[in-house]
Amino acid sequence: MGVVERLGSGPGGVSRKTSFSPVVDMSTRVLILGSLPGDASLAAGRYYAHPQNQFWRLLSPVVGVDLPALEYVDRLAALQAAGIGLWDVVASATRPGSSDAAIRDATANDVAALIATLPALRLVAFNGGTAWKAGRALVQGIETLALPSSSPLHTVGAAAKQPAWDAIGTHLRSA
């Protein structure tokens, strides 16, 4: 799971943060890649744990399950049952706070190696501009989709984001 390691001492010290393990299985048809978990997610040890993050609400209509009403382990199970996997583009980086704009000294996850293990994969979707910019070069030979960020720092309302997120459903239903 994600880790926060303090580098340096005092107020000038910087935290090196590490992403979570991928949540995928052999039936993953859509892989959603974020950038790097924020502080609330790292503290909770869960993807998209910040209460204002719209991720679970945006995916609920896509999978037909009220994801926010479920316990975390059941949310992950519902995504996997629908064919959706999760991971992050950034394996580790220094970043004060949770803003993607503050990510420095990033090391990428081996996205291509993970994709090679997913025979049913049809789409790699990027949750937000940072994930898209950092990750699109890591994906070859498969369709990609840039999604508006689910982060509370991306202040566009969920209703405006929903049509883009709904496009994931097409890849879950396609043969």
| Catalytic site residue from 53, 127, 130, 150 | 53
Q: How far apart (Å, rounded) are the C-alpha atoms in residues 120 and 140?
A: 15
What's the chain's average pLDDT? 90
**Higher per-residue confidence, 153 vs 10:** 153
User: Is the pLDDT reported for residue 65 higher than 80?
Assistant: yes
User: Is the pLDDT reported for residue 131 higher than 90?
Assistant: yes
pLDDT at position 175 is 53
Longest dimension (CA), the chain: 55
For 31-42, write each residue's pLDDT tens digit: 999 999 999 999
Note whether 88 and 96 are within 8 A (CB). no
User: Is the pLDDT reported for residue 9 higher than 50?
Assistant: no
DSSP code at position 69: G
pLDDT at position 60 is 98
Whether the full predicted model's pTM is greater than 0.85, yes or no, is yes
Provide the pLDDT confidence category of residue 152 given band limits of 50, 70 and 90.
Answer: confident
**53 catalytic, yes or no?**
yes
pLDDT at position 163 is 95
> Buried (b) or exposed (e) across 51-79, using 16+ Cβ within 10 A?
eebbbbbbbbebbebebeeeeeeebbebb
pLDDT at position 113 is 97
